[in-house]
Amino acid sequence: MSGLVFRCLWPALFMAAASIAAPAGAADEYPAKNVRIIVGAAPGGITDVIARLLGDYLARATGARTVVENVAGAGGNIAFAQLAKSAPDGYTLGLASAGNIVINQFLYQNMSFDPLTDLVAAAPIAAAPQLLMVSASSPFRTLGDLADDARKNPGAINYGSAGVGSTPHLSGALFEKLAGLRMTHVPYRGTAPAITDLLGMRLQLVAIGAQPVISFIKDGQLRALAVTDARRLASLPDVPTAAEAGFPGYEVSSWFGLFAPKGTPGPVIEKLDGLVRAMLADPAERRKFTDVSIVPMDVSRADFKAQIDREAKAWGGMIREAGITAN
């Protein structure tokens, strides 16, 4: 009986050994067909811009065609639920923001996937610090001016956002907490209408990444009071950091990274990370990001994962404390 069992095990052992060796071979040949990159936002936004920069580079570096697919709705949850259920072979990827991975889990009830366990961080790509924006016609010349007025007139400052739970919303809520003041949040469906109302002075403040507003700043229609980062933006060197403006510790930056379904072979993940690192090490490619005020992330995958875990803990506590929920 024991001899029979021993002989029957040989095919199983052979197949197990073959399966162990398969991922490395698959990674050597990867990508051997089209790569799909899912984006949980409409075309034209910062997430879409980054996805297309990445897709263009991957196509040129590997020869494989890349297709960016925009799946908007539910703060990106529809898109990343699709990603979580996709085959873990490296041919369906997602370009995610911090909101998709870190924040949504605390805003939405009964999500169909867990972004921290059902998805794998394949590569950090870039970050977009928030600019605290006012109209050029605003009486507020500094962030301190705005804070002083908000303290004297609680609720009188209207700040806009791309929707409940969006990074601009949380940026405003964090400013309220750190500065000890109260403003009125006005959510919109996306950033474009919020910018329109800021230009028209129907809003007094919007916190937003630089990419969609930099042209308005440079042509004198909007004024940036501060950037929520430890360093000034290279594209806007005259805009002070929040710390320089008198609010140390006020740092909010929406990062963007490449994610894959859980179970994607490690060698494929490593190859993707290597391709992204090569892209960001190329001065010409790097300039495509910095030209639109997006800051390349020069961190390892391990550090990126640790950052995600830290932010989930910090933002989760603040969102619960503030009672912020999304439908």
Q: Strands, DSSP E only, in 194-288?
A: 205-209, 222-227, 253-261
Domain 10-128+255-322 has CATH 3.40.190.150: yes
Per-residue pLDDT at 327: 66
Q: What does pTM read for this prediction?
A: 0.84
Return per-residue pLDDT of the chain as tens, 327 residues. 333 333 333 344 334 444 444 444 456 789 999 999 999 988 888 899 999 999 999 999 999 999 999 998 888 999 999 999 999 999 999 999 999 999 999 999 889 999 999 999 999 999 998 999 999 999 999 999 999 999 999 999 999 998 888 889 999 999 999 999 999 999 998 888 999 999 999 999 999 988 889 999 999 999 999 999 999 998 899 999 999 999 999 998 889 999 999 999 999 999 999 999 999 999 999 999 988 888 999 999 999 999 999 999 999 998 998 888 886
Per-residue pLDDT at 9: 37
What's the rounded Cα separation, in Å, for the pair 104 and 122? 19
Where, residue-wise, is CATH 3.40.190.150 in the chain?
A: 10-128+255-322
> For residue 169, what are the CA distances in angstroms to 13, 158, 322?
55, 11, 12
Six-digit token string for 205? 């403040």
CATH fourth-level superfamily of 129-227: Periplasmic binding protein-like II (3.40.190.10)
Where, residue-wise, is CATH 3.40.190.10 in the chain?
A: 129-227
- Give residues with Cβ within 8 angstroms of 261, minimum separation 6: 83, 84, 85, 86, 87, 88, 92, 118, 119, 120
